Amino acid sequence: VRFDDASVLVTGASSGIGEALALELAGRGARLTLAARREARLLRLAEEVGRIGAPLPRVVVGDLTAAGEAERAARAAISAWGMLDALVNNAGVSAYGEEESFDLDEYRRIMEVNYFAPVRLTLAALPHFLARRRGLVVNVTSVAAIYGVPYLGAYGASKAALTNFSQALRAELRGTGVRVMVIYPNYTDTELFLREAVTGTARRPRIRHASAARVAAAVVRAAETNRRELVLTLTGKAMQRARGLAPGLLDRVLAGMATRLREPRATDRRRTS
Ligand SMILES: NC(=O)c1ccc[n+]([C@@H]2O[C@H](COP(=O)([O-])OP(=O)(O)OC[C@H]3O[C@@H](n4cnc5c(N)ncnc54)[C@H](OP(=O)(O)O)[C@@H]3O)[C@@H](O)[C@H]2O)c1
């Protein structure tokens, strides 16, 4: 895939990985449609893209979980540029905590944003892609979709659902010219963590976070080289291997992690003793 002059819809472009992806694609000369709820952020980004010298993006403001909004975003992107070459389903929300600490409504809300919105966008763009016999769907899931990670059950389930949907669709679309890519980011330095619902008492692990710019550059490179899947970080790749080769070991490692994340940090323990 080449992105110069390509019409690309990026959801969740108002911050983090989506914003970085928009800038990376603008650097290639893509014609962008940017979707999210925070209008001011999208307009600021559109201006920045214009300053790079790329075509001024079209902005679609709305909650992708609201009735008709995902479909409206897809239509807006097609009509803004007369066509759509790639759909990047990046918008997402997170939640962290013991599985029993969430309301069922929280599980549903995460599914609406992380699973049903990308599915609806994909289905809305698909007839256009099939008619042109070309198109790329990039679905941003997570390393938490590879295997269930403690305290990320609700989030990981929504990402695993999107991964599975993507892989099924990829098989069905073989020979049509429409491709489906899955991206599994690991910890990335974004606002996701500031905005997530946190319940219960478990804490997030202290892990090095990649920059959104680095992740975005890797995603665009992977798309340009027609990769089917991109698992970020060695830990993510190790998880993928272990799932197939040593699932029992992976279970034990994750159980150890679950216990550690419920205990006070070593530094906190020293302070209180
Ligand atoms: N950061 C990580 O460590 C990490 C790891 C693995 C996977 N990911 C995935 O990467 C993707 C990007 O996340 P990020 O880390 O860049 O976080 P972020 O900075 O919080 O970005 C999330 C984006 O999604 C948009 N969004 C959320 N709910 C929406 C809704 N209902 N309708 C429309 N847009 C919505 C947000 O925009 P508005 O609030 O303006 O609507 C924002 O632009 C997500 O799918 C996330 O699950 C992130």
pLDDT higher than 90, residue 257: yes
Question: What is the per-residue pLDDT for 263?
Answer: 87
CB of 163 sitting under 6 A from ligand 1? no
pLDDT higher than 50, residue 183: yes
Q: What residues pair up with 189 in beta bridges, in sequence order? A: 211
pLDDT higher than 50, residue 273: no
d(CA 61, CA 14): 10
Nearest to 150 by CA among 240, 250, 254: 254
Q: What is the pLDDT of residues 25-40, one digit of tens each?
A: 999 999 999 999 999 9
Model pTM above 0.85: yes
CB of 154 sitting under 6 A from ligand 1? no
d(CA 64, CA 78): 17
Active site residues: 155
d(CA 239, CA 231): 10
Q: What is the pLDDT of residues 227-240, one digit of tens each?
A: 999 999 999 999 99
Q: What percent of the chain has pLDDT over 90?
A: 96
CB of 16 sitting under 6 A from ligand 1? yes
pLDDT higher than 70, residue 271: no
Residue 11 CA, closest ligand 1 atom number: 34
The rounded Cα 254 to chain-centroid distance in angstroms is: 23
Ligand 1 centroid to 252 CA: how many Å?
Answer: 30
* Identity at 34, one-letter amino acid code: L
Question: What is the per-residue pLDDT for 266?
Answer: 64
d(CA 154, CA 107): 6
Q: What is the pLDDT of residues 81-116, one digit of tens each?
A: 999 999 999 999 999 999 999 999 999 999 999 999
Q: What percent of the chain has pLDDT over 70?
A: 97
